[in-house]
Every structure is written in C-alpha cells, then in structure tokens.
Amino acid sequence: MWVKICGITCEEELEAAVKLNPDALGFVVETKKSRRNILMDRAKKLMKLVPSSISKVVVTLNTKKIKKISEFADYVQIYEDFPLPLKCKIIRGYIFNRFDFDDFKKIENKIDMVLIDSGYGMGKVHDWRFTRRVREKVKKPLILAGGLTPKNVVSAIQQVRPFGVDVSSGVENGGRKDYSLMKEFIEKVRGVKSVT
C-alpha cells in the first residue's frame, strides 16, 4: 500500500517523516488557501533533503507556476486543468463531489494517478462508497485522502481498496506533524493484508 504524508512545512517534520520511510512526502506549494503553504524556494530546499527512495510530491493550485514547480518534483498533484507537458508525473486530485467520469475520461491518459479527497486539507471524511465506485471504474491507481487517521485508515482501506492513502491533518498535533501519529498511521497501513 502506497503511503503519502502530505503538508510537510519544515525540516523537523521532514526528518521525522523520513525516519518512517513513507513512499512519498507532499509539500503544499504556492497555494495561499492552505495553512501548510510554503513558497517555491523553501520547497526546493526541503526537497533536496528527501532521500531518492521517497517520492517528492508538490501539491498546488497555482497553475501559472506549475511548469516551474514541476521541474523539482517527482509528482505534481493538481486539482484543476493544467498545461502540458510537465517535467514530472501527475496526480490529478478531485474533491469527491466534483468528480465527473466523463471529464476524467478526457484526461485519463495524461495522468499517472487519481486522488479523491474531501477538500483541500480539511481533515474531513467523505463517502467512501463513492470513492470505491470511482476506484472500480478508473484504470489509473487511486489514492484515498480526506480525514484519514490512525484510527480509521484500516477501515478506509478495507472499504475502498485503494492503491494508496494520503494523510495530513490526521497525523498532526497542534498543527504540526507528530512523529508518533505518523508512525502509528504507517504501521496500521502496512499491517493491512492484501486488498486486491
């Protein structure tokens, strides 16, 4: 099960997350509406500290700067239409109640993964039955996000059967990433038996 810890904002959070060896780390870049937003220069500095074994994901709503941002990431996670080509892989994010199968078919061959979320870092759970239906219909790997915590992630995986999971606020304490919560989350995910 692919695991992404999202919303890394500083070296302390980065170092704690790297010790747990997730598959990917996410950085919210040039997106003012997020409290985890960091500027491009800061993101570049932090990403240089990420081992090559961990994918670097830039999450952004800034389509004007996306080509520049894509130069220093392994993936860009974008929630809107985006210019092509980009210099990295693409995770197309959708807020669950805005997902449209017909629209998705038009871009499916241009992206690498699809992510279904409840909102932009809102920490709320959405209807997992809907996300399961999306996973059953799309051919791309699906990542489940939105309100996941160490307490509910096993149930989420069992219901949705995603390719991967994405967590941010669910492993925070006082607005900062908490090592023990990240550790518990990853252990719970890794402990789930095969769901294919």
Domain architecture of the chain: domains with CATH: 2-191 (3.20.20.70)
Q: What is residue 124's predicted lDDT score, i.e. its pLDDT?
A: 85
Q: What is the pLDDT of residues 121-143, one digit of tens each?
A: 667 899 999 999 999 999 999 99
CB 34 within 8 A of CB 28: yes
Measure the CA–CA gap between 54 and 191, rounded to whole angstroms.
20
What local confidence, expressed as pLDDT, does residue 138 receive?
94
Model pTM score:
0.93
Tokens 């670097």, located at residue: 56
**CB within 8 Å of 145: residues ≥ 6 apart:** 6, 93, 115, 116, 117, 118, 165, 166, 167, 168
The secondary element (H helix, E strand) that includes residue 47 is helix 40-48
Q: What is the structure's pLDDT at 122?
A: 65
Residue 184 has pLDDT above 70, yes or no: yes
Coil/strand/helix, residue 139: coil
Beta bridge partners of 38: 29
Q: Which residues pair with 89 in a beta bridge?
A: 75
Q: Among the listed ranges 67-71, 82-86, 137-141, 165-169, which one has the minimum average pLDDT value? A: 82-86
Residue of 6, 23, 100, 102 with catalytic role: 6
Runs of H (alpha helix) within the chain:
11-19, 40-48, 66-69, 101-107, 128-137, 153-160, 179-191
117 is catalytic: yes
Length of the chain: 196
Residue 167 to residue 149: CA distance in whole angstroms: 7
Task: Round to whole Å and give the CA distance between 183 and 180.
Answer: 5
Of 117, 127, 166, 178, catalytic: 117
- How far is Cα 132 from Cα 50, in angstroms, rounded to an integer? 32
Q: Is 6 a catalytic residue?
A: yes
171 close to 177: Cβ distance less than 8 angstroms: yes
Q: What is the mean pLDDT of residues 154-159?
A: 96
